[in-house]
């Protein structure tokens, strides 16, 4: 599965019409640079079991695995990369709960969020949603000018999210983004 650029896949197994782990293998055989296992409906124990499997598949194919929203589960599995919602990230950094991790990402929806994330020590950010997408049906994308402003405001890598596909990945990179994130394209 190829996405046409410096792409991170964000999972949602509920969109996957086939065997989820088979889809992860297919993604890992393509050009994605990383997978964020974002399964918001799972309790932490179930998430940890799934994370162990997905992390193993990523390791076989040399892809980076990024845990989402469960630092304790990630820590117990020895996973050193995590992505957190901004409020969780800011709270956790204040309490020094993230010292274990080598890479910490967070999601932003404004230039102010991006600056706050960088100041708090984020390694990278996802900014969005950039284009209209079925995942945010009825909510217009923030657009390329928004992405350009976010990229100009921070020094850390920015990954665009929301409606990213091979046909527009070049335009987000032209705005200064390190790449893009895909969910629906990879999962459905």
How far is residue 134's CA from residue 143's CA, in Å, rounded to a whole number? 15
Q: Which of 68, 83, 109, 129 is catalytic?
A: 129
In the residue annotation, 129 being an active-site residue is answered as yes
Contacts for 67-73: CB closer than 8 Å, 24+ residues apart:
67/36, 67/37, 68/36, 68/37, 68/38, 68/39, 68/40, 69/38, 69/40, 70/44, 71/97, 71/98, 71/100, 71/101, 72/44, 73/44, 73/47, 73/48
How far is residue 154's CA from residue 134's CA, in Å, rounded to a whole number? 28
How far is residue 107's CA from residue 88's CA, in Å, rounded to a whole number? 10
Task: Please say whether the beta carbons of 84 and 69 come within 8 A.
Answer: yes
How far is residue 33's CA from residue 31's CA, in Å, rounded to a whole number? 6
Q: List residues with catalytic annotation.
A: 129
């Amino acid at each position: 599965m190829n996405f046409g650029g410096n792409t991170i896949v964000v999972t949602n197994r509920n969109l996957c019409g086939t065997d989820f782990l088979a889809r992860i293998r297919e993604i890992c055989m393509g050009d994605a640079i990383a997978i964020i296992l974002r399964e918001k409906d799972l309790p932490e124990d179930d998430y940890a079991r799934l994370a162990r499997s997905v992390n193993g598949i990523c390791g076989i194919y040399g892809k980076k695995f990024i845990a989402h929203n469960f630092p304790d589960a990630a820590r117990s599995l020895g996973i050193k990369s995590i992505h957190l919602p901004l409020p969780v990230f800011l709270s956790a950094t204040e309490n020094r709960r993230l010292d274990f991790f080598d890479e910490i990402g967070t999601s932003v929806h404004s230039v102010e969020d991006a600056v706050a994330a960088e100041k708090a020590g984020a390694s990278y950010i996802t900014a969005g949603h950039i284009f209209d997408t079925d995942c945010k049906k009825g909510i217009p994308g923030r657009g390329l000018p928004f992405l350009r402003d976010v990229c100009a405001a921070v020094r850390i890598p920015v990954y665009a999210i929301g409606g990213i596909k091979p046909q527009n990945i070049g335009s987000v990179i032209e705005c200064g983004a390190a790449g893009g994130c895909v969910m629906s394209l990879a999962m459905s």
